[in-house]
Amino acid sequence: MTGPVARERILPRMIDEEIKESFINYSMSVIVSRALPDVRDGLKPVHRRVLYAMNEAGLTAGRPYRKSATVVGDVLGRYHPHGDSSVYDAVVRMVQEFSLRYPLVDGQGNFGSIDGDNAAAYRYTEVRLTRIAMEMLADIDRGTVDFGANFDDTREEPKVLPSRLPNLLVNGSTGIAVGMATNIPPHNLREVSAAIVAMVDNPDIETDEIRKIITGPDFPTAGFIYGRAGIKDYIETGRGRLQVRARAQIEENERGSKSQIVVTEIPYQVNKERLRQQIVDLVREGKVAGISALRDESNKEGIRLVMELKRDAIPRVVLNQLYKHSQLQTTFGVIMLALVPDIKTRQLVPKVMPVREVLKHYIDHRHEVITRRTQFDLDKAAEREHILEGLKIAVDNIDEVIKIIRAADDTPTASLSLQTRFGLSERQAEAILNMRLAKLTGLEIDKLDAELAEVRALIAELRDILGSRERRMTILKSELMDVAETFGDVRKTEIVSDEGEFSVEDLIAEEDVVVTISHTGYVKRTSVSLYRRQRRGGRGKTGTGLKDEDFVSRLYIGSTHDYLLIFTDDGRMYWLKVYEIPQSSAGARGKPMVNLINVSPETRVRAVVPVRDLEKITDADERFLFFSTRNGTVKKSRMADYTNVRNNGIKAIKIEAGDELIDVQETSGTNDIVLATRFGLSCRFRESDVREMGRDTTGVKGIELRYEDFVVGMVVIKRDATLLVVTEKGLGKVSDVAEYRVQKRGGKGILTLNRTDRTGNVVALMEVLPEDEMILITKQGILIRSSAAEVRKTGRNAQGVKLVALDEGDSVISVARVVPEDKPVEGLGDGDGDDVVDGESGAEPEAENGDAGDAGAPEA
């Protein structure tokens, strides 16, 4: 078009002003209509339109699935004038269990995976709403929310959903707008619901109280959050940084020759396949050393990413390298940004809010929904009452009504006549004219009276609700708790209390395990349930795959979180955590001790003392370590003297030439001590007879020994129990502690067993109760579990009964006590397993090369 008309339509304007105004309009459109969720229902427009369109199409929970293409088409054609990919991507995300904590769409078909696989095309997949999504849409047809025109003014769509579910907090949201972004983590439904109820009961509730209820995010992929500082920050201010770690554990492979790191949970929003490739790249680049193979063994049961380690690798070092360099540890930056209705304009504006304000907006929204729903129901009830009152008037004056109707020329005239005669409204007159003659029967008249009374009672109830905020709030809480009880579940993500306290231990489940140490220095931990109880005299099953000349020399049963004070025959002490010992099958050989603590291959472990919170023990604590040696020397020292352990261990007791450490046990300083010798003698004396001594000391004489005799066991008497004596030929007996009279320390002792060729020499002495159980270990690596109650109680100098049937050339070399499953004892494991796993003999046991450094977990 040319000429004066065309020139008049051209408006000169500065380009910077035009760009500024247009960009502001564009950015507000993206912020309000695309990228940010509404604080009330936690949904972006596309998600809200998908849910509403599916509900309108009847794709509700329990109904048949329908093609995703139908849903995408309905949403595009009626509500969302954008690309089909944006709609289908929204549908897919609402289906994925690894994306939403509580999925809103139930899908059938391929909707992608945590490996980043794309969903199948929408012509193949099918969808319907989940049951929890129906709670988002409940009461939407009862005037609870505002509706507005769609993009072409052909229909209306809801501006927000009623949302009984506090969706913004329980499912979170992520979006990038123009100049701002939101990143809200998902939370546990039960915790959020409890916080809302607490805030309804106490509108002035402090943020600290909310933090006690909402302990932190709860990601659908589980994992760990460590450090409460970031949680505190975003709950109080709306912004914070969270450190999220994968769940990983160190295991020993099936052959028992190498360790492996197994990852079973990964951080939220991490692509598992990209993580796997990232670890491969890190190994190739040399940033992470010690990994020989990487396998993805994940299936429908869950994630399982297995990293086999080299023989010389220290598992915890490799794991911390992975945390440092890979997405096994990520940072989740929380930005609680959402659209909030302005009080004056009712327009939506973006705002970063603390959790308390988010909860308040949700409560206000639900209160408005309940108020509007009640008013809607009241209007309906009042309208029905009005009609029923008109029908009642007609029934009471039926003859005159019929006369008026018959005298009228047409329906409008009859309606006007009825209104004039009985003072009826137009709607009442219309209802009378539409009334069927069947309504005039006696039964129908009674029903009419009953319905009128019922409607009037309902009206009174609804008016009472509208007049009482307390009642409305009670309804709010009741409906919310119904949702929480129906759909709530236990927390998936574990939270470690403080960043500074976080260590590998936080990744290790606390459970009872059996720790065995062989004569040649192999150590392993195994689940206590792998050993089943057998009757006295049974043959047992192979518990350790050892070479003929090797055998189990120590066995300890305790928690994975225990500290182990390891004492060697040369009088030194080393520190180790139980979880740092690789987990193995019952038949595996274990790991050379030299790879875990800094000891020489010829060193033998003589005692293992389990301790909790070792670093907290002080001189004020009445906790002692009592030592005994092969040559009859004893020593008592405060445990506080042994809390500072160095890489190469510390001297625990000075051992003289020709002597070696036999046992170390924790005491209170006031116990009685019993020493037993190889030739069947024993000496019981007061612990108070032994003075307290420092670390680097020899000790004093505990028992006077005969020629070629030596100490085989020590018992610290802490309860009214019995003493079990076991011989090398598998015989044992139980005697009352009272039969062992108290003697002077350093005496020659008294008989503890009638030693003969049938019994052989004594190999063990221990304190037991009738309900206790024990595991006997033979030289050939056979373990048998038996009950102390099955051993006949006899006198102190009896020979005993057979406990285990031994093969030719085999002999008992060690005994350990096991606590029955129904009566756990501190420091000991519990449980009675179903099977004993047969082991396989391994190759010549040799210490593997590698660092034998600090037993503590290195920092990532």
pLDDT of the residue at 860: 29
Q: Residues 327, 344: contact at Cβ < 8 Å?
A: no
Distance CA 579, CA 558 (A): 11
Report the b/e string of 631-646 with b at 16+ CB within 10 A.
bbbbbbbbbbbbbebe
Q: Listing from the earlier edge strand, what are the strands of the sheet with 750-751?
A: 711-717, 672-677, 681-686, 750-751
Task: List the one residue out of 523, 580, 597 whose CA is nearest residue 556.
Answer: 523
Per DSSP, the three-state class of 257 is coil
Please identify which residue in the block is written with the tokens 């057979």: 802
Single-letter amino acid, residue 283: V
Q: Which residues, at least 6 apart from 490, have a Cβ–Cβ distance to it below 8 Å?
A: none
Q: Residues 338, 37: contact at Cβ < 8 Å?
A: yes
Break the chain down into helix, strand, coil percent, rounded to 5.
30, 25, 45
3-state secondary structure 643-686: CCCCCCCEECCCCCCCCCEEEEEEECCCCEEEEEECCCEEEEEE
DSSP, res 836:
-
Please identify which residue in the block is written with the tokens 């007791």: 653
Q: Residues 517, 605: contact at Cβ < 8 Å?
A: yes
Distance CA 237, CA 337 (A): 11
DSSP run (H or E) holding 783: strand 782-787
pLDDT of the residue at 10: 80
3-state secondary structure 49-90: HHHHHHHHCCCCCCCCCEEHHHHHHHHHHHCCCCCHHHHHHH
Claim: this prediction has a pTM higher than 0.85: no
Distance CA 131, CA 143 (A): 22
pLDDT of the residue at 505: 58
Q: What is the CATH number of domain 359-487?
A: 1.10.268.10
Look at the domain 508-818 and name its fold: Neuraminidase (2.120.10)
Please identify which residue in the block is written with the tokens 């309902």: 458
Q: Specify whether domain 247-327 bears CATH 3.30.460.80.
A: no
DSSP one-letter string for 694-751: -SS---EE-----TT--EEEEEEE-SS-EEEEEETTSEEEEEEGGGS-B--TT---EE
124 classed as catalytic: yes
Ramachandran sector of residue 29 (left: φ over 0; alpha: ψ -120 to 50; beta: rest): alpha
Rounded to a whole number of angstroms, the distance between the first and last alpha carbons of the chain is 72
Distance CA 726, CA 704 (A): 22
Q: Residues 860, 329: contact at Cβ < 8 Å?
A: yes
Q: Residues 687, 635: contact at Cβ < 8 Å?
A: no
Longest dimension (CA), the chain: 137
Q: If 0-12 CB within 10 Å is exposed, 13-18 middle and 19+ buried, where does residue 624 land? A: buried
Distance CA 328, CA 408 (A): 86
Domain ranges within the chain, ordered by starting residue: 247-327, 359-487, 508-818
- The active-site residue out of 122, 124, 642, 707 is 124
Distance CA 438, CA 445 (A): 10
Q: Which residues, at least 6 apart from 203, have a Cβ–Cβ distance to it below 8 Å?
A: none
Q: Residues 627, 635: contact at Cβ < 8 Å?
A: yes
- The pLDDT averaged over each successive group of 10 residues in the chain (860 residues) is 58 81 69 83 96 97 96 96 94 97 97 96 98 97 95 95 97 87 96 98 95 96 92 96 94 74 96 96 87 93 93 83 92 95 85 96 98 97 94 90 91 92 93 82 82 96 96 97 97 79 55 76 76 52 52 71 85 84 74 74 81 81 92 93 79 92 90 91 92 91 90 86 87 87 89 84 86 81 79 80 84 70 36 30 32 30
Q: Residues 552, 810: contact at Cβ < 8 Å?
A: no
pLDDT of the residue at 647: 63
Distance CA 253, CA 392 (A): 85
Q: Which residues, at least 6 apart from 404, have a Cβ–Cβ distance to it below 8 Å?
A: 414, 417, 418, 421
pLDDT of the residue at 256: 59
